[in-house]
Amino acid sequence: MRTSRLSRDTARVAHALSPAKRSTRSLRSFAYEANPDEQGAQHGGSESELSSPPSSRNGQLLGKRKRGTTGTPATSIASISAESKEVRRSPRKTIAGDDAPKKRKAKRQPAKRIKNENGTDTVEPPANWEEVYTITQEMRKRILAPVDTMGCESLAEETRPPRDQRLQTLISLMLSSQTKDPVTAAAIKNLQENLPGGLCLESLLAVEPARLNDLIVKVGFHNNKTKYIKATALILRDQYNGDIPDTIEGLVSLPGVGPKMAYLCMSAAWGRDEGIGVDVHVHRITNLWGWHKTSTPEQTRAELESWLPREKWHEINHLLVGFGQMVCLPVGRRCGECELGERGLCPSRVAGGSPRKRKVKQEVKVEVEVGDGEVKKEEIVGEADDVGVEVEIKREDLGEVDVQGGIPDIEDAVPAV
């Protein structure tokens, strides 16, 4: 009898040390095995040294189940629930390429106005403006824009007297409104080469309006600008001794000259930076950078002048016009080519590379002389990309007609007279 108990206990110990096997035993057999005293009594034997301690299964002691203990053979419902919650709360596994750090957009950090005790305001510049400005300067050094070679400041003839150079700068600015830089440069060259005596005050006073209009016919609003130039020539002769005004008030009083033109002319012609010339590029880009939130160029000018160092007033227009012409376009910004976006400094960055040119439809009116003085009018719908191209229209009865299309470059619209 003792030998059989020893063999049975030995088998139980060996079973406890063996790898766990999945079992489908009933609850009754489980409870039976869990009480070795009862089991030994049923076999008619007394407790032995081997059978007296509770046997183990899967490395856990087998004994009476106690509420709240973790040493029971079966996992409690509470522990299972806790484990399932942990699984649900575990972070989502990332797929390939998902673990790469995503670039966050820069926060808008506009200039802040701080009221002093004496009632005056102190403007605190945007936090990162110097870094943004420096990087933009570095990008512009590597990018040649139309404004660099055909901007209004570079169109005056250096061989002319200073008075004529100042006049040519003023006329260039007047023609540049709603006109691309290459078109403005071509119109100024026409005036310089075809006006008797060149582009000077005396030639503008003597030329007929129709002839003047023919020479600048490709610029935007050329009819109105012809009237403005003729009226300006008379004012300069009668009120300013043949020279252009040397004050902002005097320049703004001229027909067709607004604040932007006046500040640019004052800086380029007279060498005095009395304000910032803010066109649509400067207005748009500085708002995209989050330097301020303004709705008009004049509001932008006031905000910039309140904190931007004066030595940068002259160059910021040229800097941002070229940047807006080549990188930060009005339609289809090339954020994939901009270092500000790559470094997380532009809060308006659009994810992705350089956008494709978008096609826009335009209605083109064509008037062609067919013969015997008959003029045939046609309305043809062509296609042009959003940065402006020449649309070529070909019809058997009209021949080939080149029509200048696209969106005007910059500046404020000239009001009709």
- Residue 139, amino acid: M
pTM of the full structure: 0.61
**Per-residue pLDDT at 352:** 60
Q: What are phi and psi of 137, to 5 degrees?
A: -60, -40
Please give the DSSP secondary-structure letter assigned to residue 20: P
Closest CA to 340 of 136, 142, 107, 138: 136
For residue 303, give both structure tokens: 């905000």
Q: What are phi and psi of 197, to 5 degrees?
A: 85, 0
What is the residue-wise DSSP string for 327-361?
TS-SSS--GGG-HHHHTT--TTPPSSSPPPPPEEE
Please give the DSSP secondary-structure letter assigned to residue 19: P
- Options 107, 218, 260, 312, the catalytic residue: 260
Q: Which of 77-86, 151-160, 304-313, 315-324 has the lowest mean pLDDT?
A: 77-86
Helix (H, G, I), strand (E, B) or coil at 164: helix
Sequence-distant (6+) residues with CB within 8 A of 150 are 181, 182, 184, 185
Q: What is the pLDDT of residues 332-360, one digit of tens each?
A: 999 999 999 889 999 999 876 554 444 44
Is residue 359 part of the annotated active site? The answer reads no
> How far is residue 6 CA from its own chain's centroid?
84
- Residue 400, amino acid: E
Q: What is the pLDDT of residues 354-380, one digit of tens each?
A: 544 444 444 444 444 444 545 444 444
Over residues 144-149, mean pLDDT: 93
User: In angstroms, rounded to a whole number, what is the distance separating the alpha carbons of residues 296 and 284?
Assistant: 9
Closest CA to 229 of 276, 263, 190: 190
Q: Sign of dihedral through CA atoms 241, 246, 249, 251?
A: positive
Closest CA to 260 of 170, 326, 130, 395: 170
Structural domains in the chain, CATH included, are: 2-73 (no CATH), 124-342 (1.10.340.30), 359-404 (no CATH)
Tell me the CA distances in angstroms from 309 to 131, 240, 314, one per residue in order.
14, 32, 10
Please give the DSSP secondary-structure letter assigned to residue 125: P
User: In angstroms, rounded to a whole number, what is the distance separating the alpha carbons of residues 40 and 341?
Assistant: 80
Of 38-47, 158-167, 343-352, highest mean pLDDT: 158-167
**Do 337 and 360 meet the contact criterion of CB atoms below 8 Å apart?**
no
Over residues 252-281, mean pLDDT: 94
**Per-residue pLDDT at 115:** 72
**Do 110 and 291 meet the contact criterion of CB atoms below 8 Å apart?**
yes
Of the pLDDT bands very low, low, confident and very high (cuts 50, 70, 90), residue 20 is low
